[in-house]
Amino acid sequence: MLTTKSYNISQSMLTRKITSLIAILALIGIMPNIANAQLSVNPAFDPNKLIDDRVFSDTKTFGGASGIQQFLESKNSILANTSSSFIAKLKEPTSSALKQGLEDPQPDLNRQRTAAELIWDAAQHSGMNPQAILVTLEKEQSLITGRKNVDEATLQKALDRALGFGCPDGGGCDNIFGGFYYQLFGNFDAQANRYLGAAKSLMKSFSTPGGRGPAINNGVAAKVGETITLDNTLGGYEGVQARQTIVLSNAATAALYRYTPHVYNGNYNFWRFFNEWFRYPNNTIIKSGKKGGLFVILNGVKHPAPGFVLQARGLNPSAAITVSKTELESYTTGELLGPADNTVVKVDGESQLYVFISNIKHPASSFVIKQRGLNPDAALKMTEDEADQFKAGAALAPSPGTIVKGKNDTAVYLVATDGTLQLFTEFTFKQYDAAKKLLIVDDEELKSYEKKGTVPPLDGTIMKSTTSTTVYVLEGGLKKALTGEIFRNRGYSFANLANFSDEVINAYPDGGFAPPANGTWFSLEGKALYLFKDGERHYVSPFVAKQRGITPDYSFDVGLVAQWKDGYAIPPKDNTLIKSDVDGTVYVTLAGQLQALTLEAFKARGYSFKNVVVVPELDIKNMPKASPLLK
């Protein structure tokens, strides 16, 4: 497999290991006899074209991280685990600066991402179909269907080598790519040079004019249309020859052979898994026999679909592909497929119009349909049997955010995001400037809408009870107590303080104490120095504070600070040499991370021990670290 230095695309790449079928079976707990391990090759396999270019670069499959999560759950994949302990195994770095350097599209999230989220973000960033990433995770480390009953060390090793990136056939894996995150996004080497991860590297190879194939003839990269001869990995399939000649028919095929320079077992397994899971593109209609029901394929899952839904989605039922009962049953069955949100429909023989939202049909008046910018004259017809297949919801209200009142009723309501109506209080009526946005509706129509609760004050509202001195700020539906220092830190004014009854204040769940503004430097009771950033407290050692000229702007007490999660300690400036007071290891700070120096690297770089700063061991332990510098 190949890694490309981003500033020099001609730099040589690493050839990676191929996972054989026998290894895959062994990892998922099936240990075949060698005599029984020789499986037949699917005759539909064309080694000259592994995947269509358009499909390989289709980043919109799954529609988002949630779609990938659903797929992982349908396969009972170990990667579907969203517990904090498992997410930690993915080794997403905490340094925003590091992630920004790797062009991670979400470097500043106040949490670590799930496997599905990392796969989605890597796909969007690189331009690679997330389906292709999932297939590669399977062919390399069986992370979709295997790894269920392995020990923690074996699982961590598989995650660290998830895509087989930087793992040459003739040696061990490059430690700068050690970790699920780094396999996807890349990392910085000992010289602080950026190297691309698997997804971006594959797509750089894919997008190079003419396509970049495997290096042949003394390192010359083959192009699309050229014929090449490759060695195979023997074992697992019948009739496989040691060497095989193929034609690189398109850019995706060339990129995949450059990543894995074998037909068997690596690229055959890529094709096999892709063909099994994603053989039919999204929106393909399949059926079993002339009288079989119709199903729509979406991300490898078959969804039963009524005729009016096919019409709503612009799909032609006459184009349905007939498959065997066995093949039909091999697909996971998903939920009943409905039309797209905001599709207007009516049942044969009825005058009532419905609007579909999240697969639920809501009765809707012509007034609401027009207010939402929909066309009642374009309503699709569905049979009574088709209508009965879908859950019926409450009467559809005007679009969320609309402010309404009846002709003869003084009550004013806000349409919430879930379609229910919330009652305005005098305070929120003024806060939302509702008088300028009122929409008058018939009283009978207003009665048909579901009503629930009152309009909450806007996020950021500072408020208190009329019977208490405790001041709160409303954030995310929670009331968070404000200390005097935090009140000042956030720049609040008592002129904007709203008073409510105990009943109103008590209606909001307690969110503890409000944190300070992001980027606040503070001391802990006038002693230890910290930075509050992204919901975490980051310790600043006396040495770093002096070196960087940092002084606290506020002083908070232990009870307040204890609520915030410990983040990494703030490192010294880049190119600073430091060591702990109990260990002889010398580190240099590069790109905001500590990197241990070997003696060879220390000498080669011309460093002097007189410039090494000694700091407490705990400071070193809590600072972010990258791979050691070996030379």
- 470-513 pLDDT tens trace: 999 999 889 999 999 999 999 999 999 999 989 889 989 999 99
320 pLDDT exceeds 50?
yes
Is 178 domain-assigned?
yes
Domain shared by 431 and 470, yes or no: no
- Whether residue 298 contacts residue 282, with contact meaning beta carbons closer than 8 Å, is answered with yes
Domain count, the chain: 7
Q: Tens digits of per-residue pLDDT, 46-81?
A: 999 999 999 999 998 888 999 899 899 989 999 999
* pLDDT at 529 > cutoff 60: yes
For residue 12, tell me if it sits in a domain. no
Dihedral sign for Cα atoms in the order 211, 212, 214, 220: positive
Bigger pLDDT: 253 or 148? 253
* DSSP type of residue 625: B
Q: What pLDDT is recorded for position 37?
A: 54
Please check whether residue 181 lies inside any domain of the structure. Answer: yes
The two three-digit tokens of residue 631, written as one number: 């030379």
Same domain, 210 and 181: yes
- Reported as a pLDDT band with limits 50, 70 and 90, residue 200 is very high
Residues 373-427 pLDDT 10s: 999 999 999 999 999 999 999 999 999 999 999 999 899 999 999 899 999 999 9
Asked whether residue 415 falls in the same domain as residue 468, the answer is no
Do the domain assignments include residue 180? yes
Q: Does 224 fall in a domain?
A: yes
User: Can you tell me the distance from the alpha carbon of 17 to that of 172, in angstroms, rounded to the nearest whole number?
Assistant: 9
Burial of 319 (0-12, 13-18, 19+ CB in 10 A): exposed
Structure tokens, 249: 């028919």
Q: CA angle at residue 299 from 124 to 93, to 5 degrees?
A: 35
Parent domain of 537: 520-566
The chain-wide mean pLDDT, for the chain, equals 88
When pLDDT is cut at 50, 70 and 90, the band that residue 172 belongs to is: low
Q: Are residues 165 and 184 in the same domain?
A: yes
A 10 A CB-CB count for 97 gives 14
Q: What does the longest C-alpha to C-alpha distance in the chain come to?
A: 91
pLDDT band per the 50, 70, 90 thresholds, residue 1: very low
- Is the same domain home to 141 and 232? yes
Same domain, 447 and 349: no
Q: What is the pLDDT of residue 583?
A: 87
Of all residues in the chain, the percent with pLDDT exceeding 70 is: 93
pLDDT of residue 117: 97
Residue 209 pLDDT: 83
Q: Is the pLDDT of residue 206 over 50?
A: yes
Q: Which residue has the higher pLDDT, 8 or 132?
A: 132
Identify whether 108 is part of a domain.
yes
pLDDT at residue 492, rounded to an integer:
96
Q: What are the E-state strand segments in 161-225? A: 186-188, 194-196, 215-216, 220-221
User: Which residues are CB-neighbours of 93 under 8 A, at least 6 positions away?
Assistant: 99, 181, 624
pLDDT of residue 31: 39
Specify whether 376 is located in the same domain as 446: no
Same domain for 261 and 220?
yes
pLDDT in tens, 326-350: 888 888 899 999 999 999 999 998 9
Residues 349 and 243 in one domain: no
What's the pLDDT at 215? 78
Going by pLDDT thresholds of 50, 70 and 90, the confidence category of residue 23 is: very low
Residue with the larger pLDDT of the pair 148 and 217 = 148
What mean pLDDT do residues 197-226 have?
A: 86
* All residues at 6 or more sequence positions from 152 whose CB lies less than 8 Å from its CB, including other chains: none
What's the pLDDT tens digit per position in 239-269?
A: 899 999 999 999 999 999 999 999 998 999 9
**Which has more pLDDT, 29 or 413?**
413
Give, to the nearest 10 degrees, the angle between helix 65-74 and helix 130-141.
40
Q: For position 613, what pLDDT does the model report?
A: 95
Tell me how far apart the alpha carbons of residues 149 and 119 are, in angstroms, rounded to a whole number: 23
pLDDT at 171: 57
pTM of the entire predicted model? 0.61
pLDDT for 27 beyond 50: no
Residues 503 and 538 in one domain: no
Q: Are strands 412-415 and 403-406 parallel, antiparallel or unpaired?
A: antiparallel
In a domain, 394, yes or no: no
pLDDT band at 216 (very low <50, low <70, confident <90, very high): confident
Whether 313 and 382 share a structural domain: no
pLDDT score, position 569: 92
Q: Is the dihedral of CA 231, 235, 241, 244 positive or negative?
A: negative
In a domain, 190, yes or no: yes
DSSP result, 344-410: EEEETT---EEEEETTEEEEE-HHHHHHTT--GGGPEEE-HHHHHTS-B-PPPPSPTT-EEEESS--
Instruction: Read off the pLDDT of each residue in 235-239 and give the average, rounded to a whole number.
Output: 87
**Is a pLDDT exceeding 50 seen at residue 16?**
no
Same domain flag for 448 and 466: no
Percent of the chain with pLDDT over 90: 68
At residue 568, the 3 state secondary structure works out as coil
Task: Give the contacts of 281 (CB within 8 A, at least 6 positions apart).
Answer: 55, 297
Cα angle: 580, vertex 584, 590; to 5 degrees: 65
